[in-house]
Structure 1
Amino acid sequence: MFNSDETLNRTSLSPDILARIYLYTEEKGGRMSPWPKIKHGCVLMLENEAFDCTFTADDAYIHLQPGSTSILAVKFLFSDSVKPRLRPGTQFKLWDGKEIGEGEVLAVY
């Protein structure tokens, strides 16, 4: 997986999708702490396939806390391999060494 700065440098800044993201609490196996910055690289799992992506929000001061839900823009490292499979309502999981959350596609751009 690439760090978010590498991912953003290798791709256009235009988002591929808009998604509702829920981070699991630590008790449900999620992270112990919030994402350290809102431009955060993570792996999106769709039907047991992994896709590197970066999540961003308009508000740079948001720290997504475990147990919270947020609407974020998502940019894939290789969007051609995943975008054709996404539609509003598509469900996915988030992976960062373990399953840390889940999401739903709201819009595909």
Structure 2
Amino acid sequence: MKRFIANIRLSRTEEGGRSQPIPPRTFGCPVFFENVPELQSHGYDCRMLLAEYGEPVPPGGAVDEVALLFLAADEILSYLRPGVRFSLWEGKTIGSGIVVRIEDAP
């Protein structure tokens, strides 16, 4: 199993982001890839392993090198590489991210 390491930034509330922080636990939301045409037809469910980060992520906050697990990892693996950008979705865009590296899950 692969995990995708990414830098993420949540949008501020006044930018249309969440009104509450994301708690430091596993958080799931769809991801929409921006610069990979083959993956732009729909969102892909992911889990951000924020428990490894250890603190809440407030609106407007950023986390470097958070691990993401994708439910359809085999479907997207061949398209992802460092530099791929994505948006985080929770009924609306709540943030953005960029893939830093791909590694084997422990």
- How far apart, in 2, do the equivalents of 1:29 and 1:106 lie? 25
Fraction of identical pairs, as percent: 34
**Amino acid across the alignment from 1:56:** L
Which of the numbers 62, 80, 101 marks the counterpart of 1:69?
A: 62
Q: After superposition, give the CA deviation of every residue in 1:34-65 in whole Å (9 maximum; x if it has no partner).
A: 11333101111113420001001424x31111
**Alignment equivalent of 1:49, drawn from 24, 42, 48:** 42
Given the alignment of the two structures, is residue 91 of structure 1 paired with residue 85 of structure 2, yes or no? yes
Per mean C-alpha deviation after superposition, the further-off stretch among 14-23 and 94-103 is 14-23
1:14-42 per-residue CA deviation (whole Å, 9 max, x = no partner) reads 65200000000111000000113331011
Q: Which runs of 5+ in 2 are unaligned?
A: 34-39
**TM-score normalised according to structure 1 size:** 0.80
Structure-to-structure mapping, 1:20-59, within 5 angstroms: 20-46=7-33, 47-57=40-50, 58-59=52-53
Q: What RMSD, in angstroms, separates the aligned Cα atoms of the two structures?
A: 1.5
Contact 1:31 1:66 (C-alpha < 8 Å) held by counterparts:
yes
CA distance in 2, matches of 1:48, 1:92: 13
- Which residue is equivalent to 1:18? 5
**Any gaps of 5 or more consecutive residues in structure 1?**
1-13
Q: What do the CA deviations read for 1:43-94 (whole angstroms, capped 9, x no partner)? A: 11113420001001424x3111110110210000110111211110111000
2: CA distance, partners of 1:87 / 1:18: 10
**Are 1:16 and 1:83, in contact at CA under 8 Å, matched by a contact in 2?**
no
Match in the other structure for 1:103: 97
CA distance in 1, matches of 2:76, 2:13: 29
- Higher strand proportion (structure 1 or 2): 2
CA distance in 2 between counterparts of 1:64 and 1:82 reads: 26
Q: Which runs of 4+ in 1 moved over 3 A?
A: none
